[in-house]
Every structure is written in structure tokens, then in C-alpha cells.
């Protein structure tokens, strides 16, 4: 069985705070007290039109999904040593680490408008609660990654020597710009913070060629494949041709897998097996599945 580090594990519904999703998936920008109802299928609701998920997990709000205990059991069966857990509140960081030591990477999230208050809380969570890094997503707050309001957080991450994961992909929430997660925004961040370890979450699709160029350009920039099914990487015409070519050669040390099991309604084992079927060299498959993430997180 191969060892795996999964760069996108979803917090089980039974342990999630439903208010977080409701707020983060609401209107972009400042809320208005007397907002009118939105058109059907608008904003994040459009994801339901674009993607027909086959998710087999219990519906949100149900308590029989086994929580983190069952998630860890599923990880064990599939050989997943660790995973980046998304969806947990900052305040849950210490509790989750204590309950499941060494199994999850927990990246904190902050509103860039909170300024130095966010910076101080970020430092406290890293030093006192074991937070492993910072996660930023312009998809939710509408603030691109190179905005100056993030810079105090980037500076603190560099000082603490913890990585940053930045949402890098097109979005389908049709109430905000589609290119909030364009790879070009990473260029400024990598230029201004050359010591910072950055992972481009979701691999920059459909701007794959630009993503490849930036990975070649910046030594501390990595990428993960979260939210994309591995079967498409080798499918002609899918747009992933250059990613797969360079990921098997010059960028073989830069790619990490995000299994995103919650999106595909299948087992960890099935997704991992499909990665193994990609036209990659055997040593490269091991790097994608485990070695590169182990290096990125300095586990070796």
C-alpha cells in the first residue's frame, strides 16, 4: 500500500459549523441589512448547475457520518498518513490536534480586513494551538491574493516559517469575478515574500500553462490537485496536457495530490488507484502521493 498525504480532506458534516458555510457562501462584499432575495441559481447555488455531485455522504446536518473518528479510520484503510483538513473553525485547531495527534494539518483562515488583530491571533494559534499554516481564498471574500491587506499575514507566516495555501482556480459563483483565483496573483506574493512556502490550491485550472510557468519561476511555489478528478489529467483536450507533461518531468517535485473525496462520492482507495493509473513514472507517482508533501511540510 502506498503512503499518501491528502491536501484536501473535508471536515465531516456532523462536526462542521453550518453558520460558517452560510456566511462564506453569501453575498460578496459588505452585507446589507435589507437585502432582497437572490435569483434562483445565483452565486454559489450555480455550483449545483455546473457540477452534478455523486456525493454519498450523509446530508448536511445529519450526525451519523462518523465524524473525525470514522474519517481517520477511512484514512488508515487507504494508507493516508496525514491530510489537510478544510472546514474547521480556527477555535477547533487545538482540540482536533489533541484528539487526533499527527493526522491533520490545520490551516487557519482570517479576514484580511482585521489587520493586526488577525496577525496576532494567527501567531497565537500557531504557537499555542499547533496551527500548521494559513489558508486564503479570494473566492469567498473577493480579495485577490496580492492585495496589500494580506501582506501582514504573509509576513507573519514567513516569520513563523509556516506555509500558505491560496485558492488558485476559476470559480463558478456567478455573482463575483470568475478570475479571483488567477495564478497571476501568486507572482506578486512570491516576488515580495521569497522565503514563503506557498501551495496553489486547485492547480490553477483553466490557466494551467500559466500555473506551470509560475511553478518553474518560483522555487518555493508548489501546487495541489484538489477538486479535480484524476481521470481528467490524462484525457486529451481536457486542458491538463502541459500540467501532466511537466508534472512528470521538470516539476515532478512540485505537485501534491488533493483527493477531495467529498466531491466524487467514492472511496479514498478508488481515487488513489486512479492516480496510480496516470501515465507517470513510478517514482513520480510516489512523489505526487506522498514525497512532495512530506518535503513541503518538512516531515522527513
pLDDT digits (tens, 9 = 90+) for 172-224: 999 999 999 999 999 999 999 999 999 999 999 999 999 999 999 999 999 99
Question: What element of type H or E holds 83?
Answer: strand 80-86
- Confidence category of residue 57, pLDDT binned at 50, 70, 90: very low
Are 149 and 112 within 8 A, CB to CB? yes
Burial 60-78 (b: 16+ CB within 10 A, else e): eeeeebbebeebbebbeeb
Question: Rounded CA gap, 90 and 131, in Å?
Answer: 8
More confident residue, 51 or 226: 226
User: How much is the pTM?
Assistant: 0.94
pLDDT value for 90: 98
pLDDT digits (tens, 9 = 90+) for 135-171: 999 999 999 999 999 999 999 999 999 999 999 999 9
pLDDT digits (tens, 9 = 90+) for 81-137: 999 999 999 999 999 999 999 999 999 999 999 999 999 999 999 999 999 999 999
Q: Which domains are delineated in the chain?
A: 4-16+39-296 (3.20.20.140)
Among candidate residues 149, 172, 233, 163, the one with its CA nearest the CA of residue 200? 163
Question: Rounded CA gap, 63 and 203, in Å?
Answer: 32
Amino acid at each position: 500500500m502506498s503512503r499518501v498525504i491528502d491536501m484536501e480532506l473535508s471536515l465531516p458534516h456532523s462536526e462542521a459549523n453550518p453558520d460558517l458555510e452560510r456566511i462564506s457562501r453569501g453575498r460578496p462584499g459588505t452585507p446589507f441589512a435589507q437585502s432582497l432575495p437572490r435569483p434562483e441559481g445565483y452565486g454559489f447555488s450555480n455550483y449545483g448547475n455546473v457540477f452534478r455531485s455523486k456525493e454519498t455522504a450523509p446530508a448536511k446536518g445529519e450526525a451519523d457520518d462518523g465524524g473525525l473518528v470514522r474519517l481517520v479510520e477511512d484514512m488508515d484503510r487507504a494508507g493516508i498518513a496525514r491530510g489537510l483538513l478544510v472546514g474547521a473553525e480556527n477555535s477547533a485547531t487545538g482540540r482536533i490536534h489533541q484528539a487526533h495527534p499527527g493526522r491533520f494539518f490545520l490551516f487557519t483562515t482570517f479576514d484580511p480586513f482585521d489587520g493586526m488583530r488577525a496577525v496576532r491571533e494567527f501567531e497565537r494559534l500557531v504557537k499555542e494551538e499547533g496551527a500548521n499554516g494559513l489558508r486564503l481564498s479570494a473566492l469567498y471574500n473577493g480579495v485577490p491574493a496580492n492585495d496589500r491587506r494580506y501582506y501582514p499575514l504573509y509576513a507573519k507566516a514567513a516569520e513563523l516559517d509556516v506555509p500558505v495555501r491560496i485558492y488558485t482556480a476559476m470559480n463558478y459563483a456567478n455573482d463575483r469575478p470568475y478570475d479571483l483565483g488567477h495564478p497571476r496573483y501568486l507572482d506578486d506574493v512570491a516576488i515580495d515574500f521569497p522565503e514563503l512556502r506557498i501551495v496553489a490550491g486547485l492547480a490553477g485550472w483553466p490557466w494551467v500553462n500559466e500555473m506551470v510557468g509560475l511553478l518553474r519561476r518560483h522555487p518555493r511555489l508548489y501546487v495541489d490537485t484538489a477538486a479535480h478528478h484524476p481521470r481528467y489529467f490524462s484525457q486529451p483536450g481536457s486542458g491538463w496536457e502541459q500540467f501532466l507533461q511537466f508534472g512528470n518531468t521538470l516539476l515532478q517535485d512540485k505537485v501534491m495530490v488533493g483527493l477531495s473525496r467529498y466531491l466524487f462520492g467514492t472511496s479514498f482507495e478508488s481515487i488513489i488507484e486512479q492516480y496510480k493509473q496516470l501515465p507517470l513514472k513510478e517514482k513520480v507517482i510516489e512523489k505526487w502521493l506522498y514525497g512532495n508533501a512530506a518535503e513541503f511540510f518538512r516531515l522527513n
